[in-house]
Chain A
Amino acid sequence: EIVLTQSPGTLSLSPGERATLSCRASQSVTSNSLAWYQQKPGQAPRLLIYAASSRATGIPDRFSGSGSGTDFTLTISRLEPEDFAVYYCQQFGSSPYTFGQGTKLEIK
C-alpha cells in the first residue's frame, strides 16, 4: 500500500499570499496518477487537480499541481478568502487508492 504523507499539517497564511502544499508518497506513483481535492466543512471534496498537474473543469488558474514519482506539490498562487479549507492528495496508480491525511489551510 502506498502511504501518502502531506505537509505541513496546518498552514497559516493571509489572503494574497502564496501557498505551497506537499504530498510525498512512500513509493513511486505510476503514471503521475495523483489528484488533489479541496474540502470545506460540511461539504464533499472537490476535485482540483488530476494526473498530478491538470486542472479540473472550472478550477481557477491560481491552483496548480506539479511533481512526479514520489514528490508532488499543490500551489495556490494568490490566496482568496474562499481557498481556506482542507486539502487532500490521493493516488490511484496502485490499489488501494490511498489518500493523504490532509493539510488544513487556515487564515493567519
Chain B
Amino acid sequence: QVQLQESGPGLVKPSETLSLTCTVSNGSISSYYWSWIRQPPGKGLEWVGYIYYSGSTNYNPSLKSRVTISVDASKNQFSLKLSSVTAADTAVYYCARGASGSNYWGRGTLVTVSS
C-alpha cells in the first residue's frame, strides 16, 4: 500500500518561506501526479497545486506567485515551497497522489505562521 508522509517545520515566521517535503513509500513517484492540499484550522479544503513526475506543474492562481512544487524522483519525494507567508497560510498541509481524485493521502502536518 502506497504511503505518503509530510515533513517540515511546524512553525514559520511571517514573511518567511514555508517548506514541506512529502516522502512516498511502497511505491514509485514515477507515472503519477502529486498534489498539495491545505486546510486552515476548522475550515474547508483548498487545492494548492500539483506536479507530474516529469516536472510539469499546475498551481492555484490565488497562490501562484508564491508557490513552487518540485519533485526529486531519486529520493521518491516531492516538495512544496510557499514564500512570504502570513497568518492566513496557517493550515494543515496534506500531500496526496493524483490530481483528479486523490486516493492516497498523507496524514497532514500543521504549519503555524507566527512570530
Contact = CB atoms under 8 A, between A and B. Distances in A.
- Report if A and B associate in a common complex: yes
Interface residues of B, number: 20
Contacts of B115: none
B62 interface: yes
Interface residues of A, number: 25
Contact of A102 (B44, B58, B106): B44
A92 B99 contact: yes
A88 B46 CA distance: 11
Contacts, number: 55
B58 A33 contact: no
B103 A99 contact: no
B100 A96 contact: no
13 contacts: A35-B100, A39-B45, A44-B107, A44-B108, A46-B105, A56-B103, A88-B45, A90-B45, A92-B99, A96-B60, A96-B62, A99-B44, A99-B47
Interface of B: 37, 44-47, 58, 60-62, 94, 96, 99-103, 105-108
Given A44-B106, A45-B45, A99-B45, 8 more contacts: A44-B105, A92-B99, A92-B101, A95-B58, A98-B47, A99-B46, A100-B44, A102-B44
Interface of A: 1, 33, 35, 37, 39, 43-47, 50-51, 56-57, 88, 90, 92, 95-102
